[in-house]
Structures are given as structure tokens and as C-alpha cells.
Amino acid sequence: MSFKKIFIKTFGCQMNEYDSNRIYDNVSKIGFIKTDDQANAACYVLNTCHIRDKAKEKVYHEIGRIKKLYRDKKKPIMVVAGCVAQAENEEILKREPYIDIVIGPQSYHKMNDLLKQHETNLKQEETEFDTISKFGHFDKIKNNDSKVSAFLTIQEGCDKFCNFCVVPYTRGPEYSRPFFKIVEEAEQLIQNGAREITLLGQNVNAYSYKENSKEFRISNLINHLNQYSELKRIRYTTSHPRDMTDDLIDCYSSNKKLMPFVHLPIQSGSNRILELMNRKHTVDDYIKIYEKLKKINKEIEFSSDFIIGYPGETEKDFEDTYNLLKKIKFINSFSFIFSPRPGTKASKLDIIDNNVAKQRLTLIQEKLFNNQIEINKSMEDQTIEVLVENKMKNQSKLFGRNKYISPVIFDGINSNIGKIVKVKILKSNQNTLFGLINKNKKAA
Ligand code: SAM
Ligand code: SF4
Ligand code: F3S
């Protein structure tokens, strides 16, 4: 078979990254092969994100850029996938004739048929919510992602409907994949070289799969994965405070491969704002989870997501958020100004003054970034465990991550890739630790 090249540009969260890899696996069955050269592809896919800002406009901007790239060449089959495709569906085809296929995240199992039918030059749009069929189809294909650190989607969609968020509209209702299908995929990833697996879901800890009147939760999955000796580390993201149940919390004492790092979005430190957001958890609930986990293992560190300038946020609400950062020293967090998303309840509310929102964001980020710098600084001169992921592009150095997922760049040898090594940290900045292998300490 002669292969045609396919290039996917991925935006947004890890779930999009996982999806892009599954699309690559899937289209290989009809003669497409992954390329990193975006200027010479027979098929160009934009896997889009709709979570904030001018997501739709970014798509058209990207198309303008791709048109220029292919001005003197054969036009690629242009596919818009992901959450913007789901939200905008046939509107995209109407507005931009350069686009051939629009496909939503729950329809990727239909991608091959759409590409084959494209030969007849039809414009096509596929945005049904069909999660079960998607995973049913993907289960039959090898997950070829052979990275040291691999993603595995266990759950998709969301039923929580926070007033600011598009995810329930772009990813559809909550769906949990069958337990044993996930295990099969994990085994495949480990065989392909994965030494760390991150379980993914829009609400990953809401995972619940029932079979023969037994319920499987994320804690069952984590404990099951623990038995594979080649697998060194387990993570999961993104978790929701409401689903932080005791069985999951207990994993932090019973399971040595589960990393002591919890990404737990709070969004706001003000109960009034949390209620306006329809979050259905309070700051106190959050602090209780933090304290329970710290009691189990004081090494556990936290990161979070914050929305600043939510409609109705007063100076006092903002101070509550700021003061929470004094109580919990998040080691790295995402913070953004509220962005009205089409179709959500909050999009109809009056937004607060943009200058005020910007000032608040600056204050929050200063505090968060200073925490990060301080924590990284405290690791200097220490020897820490690093899972080595790859060699840096155009450099002799290796790249890996510590248990808190912070990037570590250090001098080592290629045979260290895929292993946990001890690295002496010599320098740090806000985002990265720099060091060299401590030869006196044995690798795992
Ligand atoms: N399910 C997770 C939870 O509930 O905590 C979050 C998943 S969401 C894909 C990732 C993050 O995007 C959220 O935690 C939130 O901080 C941010 N986000 C979502 N909608 C937003 C909006 N309209 N404006 C600004 N940030 C937003
Ligand atoms: Fe969005 Fe998370 Fe809320 Fe669901 S729980 S609506 S994904 S922020
Ligand atoms: Fe973005 Fe969709 Fe993920 S909106 S954050 S790509 S679920």
C-alpha cells in the first residue's frame, strides 16, 4: 500500500492529545501515515479546543495560515476536529470552503469512512454524540502511542454543568469505558514502552463502570495497574472535588506507584462565587480533602485551576481566593480571566471591568508563580527521582519529570530513557529543574 501523509495540530487538553493519537492509529488502516512535516501532508487535521477566548476565530486564522503554506502545492484534505467542531458544526463548512470535513470528538470512529468518501468530493459534517460506538471501535485498534509517559482516556464527557463551561456541550454526557477494556489498553501501552500512565477524563474521578452488579471506580483501576512491574508511575487528571471519595484518597496510602501530586481545581476561594458557578462544593469541602490527603502523606502536593473575574466577583470574593493561596501552597496552577462561552448560563451575565480582572489575575499569578519558584528553589542541592522520558531535541541533555510532574533537564545517557534515575538538582527556575545524574545512586 502506498501511504499518504497526515498531520494533526492539537490544541487544548490532554484528552485532545490522546484523541489525536487514536486518530493516527485509526487512519493507518486506510493508508495514512503520521508526519511531523505540516507543509507536506495529504490530510491536515486541526484538533481544536473551545474552552476559552476566541476559539472559533483561531480556527479561521489557522486555516488562513495553512492556505498560505499550501499555496503552490496540492490542497490537503482539510479536517476540523475537536470541541470547536462539535460546537460550531456545519456553520464552519458554510463559512470556510477550504474545509472539507468537520468532525466532533465523539465521532472519530467514523473518520475513515469520511476520508474515503471524500474522494467523491463531498463536504461532510459528523457531530453526533456517540461515545459508546467510538470506544467500541477504538478498542479493536492497537494504541500505538509508545511514549514513556502515556495517556489513557477512561472517561469522557460531563454531567455537572458548571455555569461557565462548554465541556458538557462539546463532549456530551458522562461515559465510563469498560474496566477490562481499559486494562487491555494499559497492557498494550506498557508493552509498547510506557512506564507512566496518566488516566484521563473531563471528570476522571467520576469514573464508574458497572458489570454484574459490581461497580468499578478509579481506585480499582489504580490498584489494578499497580501490579504491572514495568509500570513505575500512575497519575490521573482532571479530578473534581465532588468526586474525591475516600476509596480514592486511600489509594495514596496503599499504592506506592500513585504519584503524590493532586490536580484539584477549585476555581474560586469564595463560596458565594462557587455557588454562582454551580460548582456544588464549598471552600471548606476543598480544605477537608486537602487535610485528609496531607494527613495520609505530607509529601502530597497540589495544583489547581482558578477563574478570575467571574461575573459578580467582588473585591472581597477575590480576597477570599487570594487568602486560600496562603493556606494551600499550590505547586503549579492554571489561572485565567473568565471567558464567556457561547451557550453557557454565565455567558448571559454582565462581565466585570476588564482592567479590574487583569489586575486581580496579575496578583494571583504573582503569588502562584512565587510559590512555584520557592518550591523549585527548595529542591536545589537535593537528589530527586526522575522518570526519564526522552533526549532533548538538538541537545545532548535528557528530559524527565519528578514526582510532582515538574520538568527536569539533566546530563545523562540514552540508556537512562524509560528508567527512574536519581538526579542532583543544581539550578532551577519557575518551571524547570536542572541537574546531573547522581552516579552513586542506583537507577530503578
Ligand atoms: N472538570 C474539571 C473541573 O471541574 O474542575 C475542569 C475541566 S475544564 C476542561 C479545565 C479548566 O478550564 C477549568 O478548571 C476552568 O478553570 C477552565 N475554564 C473552563 N471554562 C472556562 C471559562 N469560561 N473561562 C475561563 N476558564 C474556564
Ligand atoms: Fe466543565 Fe469541569 Fe464543570 Fe464539567 S465539572 S462543567 S468539565 S468545569
Ligand atoms: Fe478544550 Fe475540549 Fe479539552 S474544550 S479543554 S479540548 S475537552
At residue 393, the pLDDT reads 86
* Best residue among 8, 16, 202 to mutate for probing ligand 3, ranked by most atoms within 8 Å of CB: 16
At residue 53, the pLDDT reads 85
Which CATH code for domain 383-437?
A: 2.40.50.140
- 3-state secondary structure string across 46-109: EEECCCCCCHHHHHHHHHHHHHHHCCCCCCCEEEEEHHHHHHHCHHHHHHCCCCCEEECHHHHH
Dist. CA 51 → ligand 1 center (Å): 7
Query: Would you say 154 and 208 are in contact if contact means Cβ atoms under 8 Å apart?
Result: no
At residue 120, the pLDDT reads 66
* Best residue among 14, 15, 153, 160 to mutate for probing ligand 2, ranked by most atoms within 8 Å of CB: 160
331-357 tens-digit pLDDT: 989 999 999 999 999 999 999 999 999
Q: Give the residue from 328, 317, 405 showing the smallest Cα distance to 367.
A: 328
The DSSP code sequence of 327-378 is HS--SS-EEEE----TTSGGGGSPPPPHHHHHHHHHHHHHHHHHHHHHHHHT
pTM of the model: 0.95
* Best residue among 51, 204, 336, 344 to mutate for probing ligand 3, ranked by most atoms within 8 Å of CB: 51
At residue 145, the pLDDT reads 67
- 404 three-class SS: coil
| Cα→Cα distances 162→128, 272, 316, Å | 22, 14, 22
24-40 tens-digit pLDDT: 999 999 999 999 999 99
Spell out the residues 6+ positions from residue 387 whose beta carbon is closer than 8 angstroms to its own.
148, 149, 195, 196, 232, 233, 400, 401, 419, 420
Domain locations in the chain as residue ranges: 4-130, 134-372, 383-437
Point out the ligand 3 atom lying closest to the alpha carbon of residue 51. 4
> Domain 4-130 falls in which CATH fold?
Rossmann fold (3.40.50)
Question: DSSP secondary-structure letter at 28?
Answer: G
At residue 122, the pLDDT reads 67
Q: Which amino acid is at 342?
A: P
Which residue has a Cα nearest atom 1 of ligand 3?
49
Question: DSSP secondary-structure letter at 264?
Answer: -
At residue 66, the pLDDT reads 97
Q: What residue has cell string 466577583?
A: 313
Dist. CA 293 → ligand 1 center (Å): 23
Length of the chain: 444
Query: Would you say 216 and 209 are in contact if contact means Cβ atoms under 8 Å apart?
Result: yes
Residues in the chain where the model's pLDDT stays below 70: 1, 120-122, 140, 143, 145, 439-444
Tell whether domain 134-372 is in CATH 3.80.30.20: yes
Query: Would you say 278 and 158 are in contact if contact means Cβ atoms under 8 Å apart?
Result: no
Q: Is 83 in the pocket of ligand 3 (CB under 6 A)?
A: yes
On the CB side of 112, CA atoms within 13 Å amount to: 17
At residue 1, the pLDDT reads 63
Q: In this structure, what C-alpha cell is assigned to residue 358?
A: 487583569
At residue 142, the pLDDT reads 73
Question: DSSP secondary-structure letter at 200?
Answer: E
